[in-house]
Chains A and B, each alone.
Chain A
Amino acid sequence: MRRASTYGKDVAGSNKPTMKEGERRQSLLPSSSSGINRSKEQLRRRRRSSGFLFQQKYSSPQTSTKGIRVFDSQGSDVTPLPLVAVVDDPDPKTREKSSLEEVLFKKGSSIFKSSTPTDVVSSRFGSSFTSKPTESGALSRSSITDDSFSLPSTDAAYEFPRKPVAEGFDIILSETDTISLLDLPPTLVSEDAEDADAVKQRNRDYAEFCSSKMGSDNFFERSSQTLVGEHKCKYTQTDTNKSVNKGTIATTWDIYDSFSMSTENRETRESERVDYLTRTRNKQDVSEVTMSRETGSGVSSAAETDADLFMLKTESNLEKILSSEAFMKSVSIMERVIVLNIFQPKLAAFRGLPVLKDPDSEVRPGSEERITEEKGHYLTPTLEPLWTFVSPLTRGHNITCMTWNKKNPDILAVGYVGGSSGNPQPGLICCWSLKNLVWSERVFSCHSSVTCLEFSSSNPSHLAIGMYDGSVAIYNVQVGDDTACIANSRDCAKRHTQPVWQVTWTKQQLQLSGEEREEVLVSVSGDGRITKWLILHNDFNCVDLMILKRSSGRKQSIGGGQSKTENVLLPLTTVLCIDFHPDDTGIYVIGTWDGSMHKCSLSNSDHFLDTYCKHPSPVTHIEWSPIYSDVFLSTSSDGTIQLWKVDTLNPKMSFTSVQSIVDSVKWSPNCGTVFAAIYRHRVEVWDLCQSIMRPTLVHHAEPGVTLSSLLFAKGSDSILVGDSRGEVTVYKLKNFRVGKPKKVCDLYEVMASVGGYVD
């Protein structure tokens, strides 16, 4: 627009009043040249005829004067002057002007920077103007200008068409749509509305407020710029998080260990933690060990201890290890294993197993002889010694009794006399196990010599013993120390006053409950009493089953006997032995000092059922046959062994070999016709199938040794002999059945064959 206005400026006067733009134009360009003036006049003219369309003729692009002419209704030439200086006659004058124009127009356009002559300038003009026809057309309402129109018409030749077009063309200018930058539609409230007054009042207030804003001190115009904070990069440095790969394998044993340990050791661990501060480092080591064990690693905890704890720990632990219980256990296991290695052949012979020949042992010439010897012909039965249960503790003590454990047949209890017999010295009980032939598993000492003992069958760990001073005690062999004695009759008021010669456990039928069987301990002693012992509320008490008096007054004897009044001052018969019927436990047989044996019943405490009199001297032992339930053997100091049948009052058979006190007789648990008897200096094994007149096997004791106790081993062809040296020797019955006829021997047949021996 400015450019156009410069042209209008030169034109003198007549066109003044129309437009401001034109005046401006006029003012801008003081100098004028002929060419330019002319063109401006033309421009003026064209200005007036703003409403007319015109056509451009490109045939003569040179000058606008020659080209289009616009005439108004009066016929005056109103062809507008070209805005752009005509280039057709360039003279040197125009060059100056152009330079002036350049200077003046410099602001507006960058085109004029060139110092080329007018033609370039005008061409630039033309180009500039021609290039914006629509644009200037858009703003044309508020501004004057035909100049924009006219210029392209005059100088259209330069830029517009590249090729001259024969006919003219139409340029249609139209208005664009209104671009509204802000549209705030007013809210109209009717005057009649209810809140019209309020709205009006609000409007008034607002107007007042706006007006008061202008000059008041309360308000202060100030502009502010919100700061957009500059972004700044800030760096920090941190330690990298070190990652450690940790894995574990949950094996089955691991799970089991942590599970069982968490339930069991929780309390112990807590208590250890509580005492952590108070206890010494030793305890800390223990807790560490248990904690480290829980990490799930089966490898020893050595790797996890600190170096400085290491030394302390080892030193203190060494001693602790040695005294720990588990260590004792392991040591005993080790001992057993070693002993087993040594005694393997013997034990195998004991159990009847084939002896494993050690593949690497050297074969000695002596053993070969023995082998050939065994394969040979009929040999005399002998006792082959296998091993000896002996230990320094027991050496020199006379063995009085031996018994196997009812449940675990590998455990043997042996009772020893303390000191010399007759003196009440502390007795000894040793429990031996077949697994360790060298050292006894348990050793208990009693206040008096042990005369008899027996294991209970309902509580297999209870061992009842009878002692020389008349007391009866029960020991629990599971416990190894002094608390093993469960019950002792020392404090009992009704205890025996004489030595207890035999104790036996027997299953008794409870009267109330019928079928149940309770086991009771029955003892017989020198004071003539057969008593039943009970443990009630930790009180060891006894009930007399029967009292035997020496006089025959209370006995239902065969010989009738004198009737004597019951008199507590009468001397009582010593009962030396007792044995219960294996099946009918209400019946038992006792042997007394005076040689008579009585069959008694538990239900009848006054009278005997039967009396067996044969022995003139004290009956030392009675034993029912374990296989034939109505046969029993009895032995006495007269050196005879009598075989009885329950019903007959006379012995069926009698065996005599030497005139010596028979201390004991035992049936063999394996074979119904075999029994063994122990004399003071020999052991005799009788096999009734082979001979009823002579013992099948006789074994003499070493000189100076008295054999005192005998025991068969169940399931094994062995017998155990205890002697006065305190040794229990285990013998194997060798060649016992060699050459035996194949028929199975029955005791009844034997007895029948004897027939009418004594009846």
Chain B
Amino acid sequence: MAEVDEIVKRLQAQKGVEGVIIANSEGIAIRSTLEDQHTVQYVALIQPLLVKAKKMLQEMDPSDDFTYLRVRTEKNEIIITADKEYFMVAIQKPAP
């Protein structure tokens, strides 16, 4: 547990990282460095995207596994890693 917290702190301390959210597969946020409202929004919107992405990968090749997903926007980059029980979101501003 402490390791996890430590890692999350380290992630948060990286350059450009705006927020880190850890949520379980049902959409409940476990840890978050953003405000509640934003957290809930992110989680609720990212979850179906994840499901879709995983399904797509499985259809293409069942032996393949989902590692991470990056969504690059104009203002920042959203990195999502996921497993069967949880997923993790990090929002990072790109290095100038």
Contact = CB atoms under 8 A, between A and B. Distances in A.
Interface residues of B, number: 46
Given A337-B68, A338-B90, A438-B10, A361 B4 contact: no
A251 B58 contact: yes
A256 B11 contact: no
Contacts of B3: 328
Given A253-B62, A322-B4, A330-B81, A362 B86 contact: no
Contact of A321 (B24, B47, B68): B24
Contacts of A744: none
A314 B28 contact: yes
Nearest to B96: A361
Contact of B59 (A253, A318, A323, A331): A253
B22 interface: yes
Interface in B78-96: 79, 81-86, 88, 90, 92, 94-96
A329 B85 CA distance: 13
A358 B25 CA distance: 33
B28 to A, nearest CB: 6
Task: Decide if the interface of chain B is mainly helix, strand, loop or mixed.
Answer: mixed
B10 to A, nearest CB: 7
A256 B62 contact: yes
Nearest to A391: B10
Q: Which of B10, B47, B54, B74 has the most CB of A within 10 A?
A: B10
Interface stretch (A189-197, A293-301, A441-449, A500-508): A293-301
Contacts of B67: 333
Nearest to B75: A360
B92 A338 contact: yes
Task: Decide if the interface of chain A is mainly helix, strand, loop or mixed.
Answer: helix
A317 interface: yes
Interface in B1-55: 1, 3-4, 7-8, 10-11, 14-17, 22, 24-28, 30-31, 47, 51, 54-55
Nearest to A336: B68
Interface of A: 251-257, 289, 293, 298-302, 314, 317-319, 321-324, 326-335, 337-339, 341-342, 344-345, 358, 360-362, 364, 438-439
Interface of B: 1, 3-4, 7-8, 10-11, 14-17, 22, 24-28, 30-31, 47, 51, 54-55, 58-59, 62-63, 67-68, 70, 74-75, 77, 79, 81-86, 88, 90, 92, 94-96
28 contacts: A253-B62, A255-B62, A256-B58, A300-B47, A300-B51, A302-B26, A302-B27, A314-B28, A317-B24, A318-B28, A321-B22, A326-B83, A328-B4, A330-B88, A331-B4, A331-B7, A331-B11, A335-B14, A337-B81, A337-B90, A338-B92, A341-B95, A342-B14, A342-B95, A358-B96, A360-B74, A360-B75, A361-B94
Given A326-B83, A341-B16, 11 more contacts: A255-B62, A321-B22, A322-B1, A322-B22, A324-B85, A327-B83, A328-B4, A335-B11, A341-B79, A358-B94, A361-B96
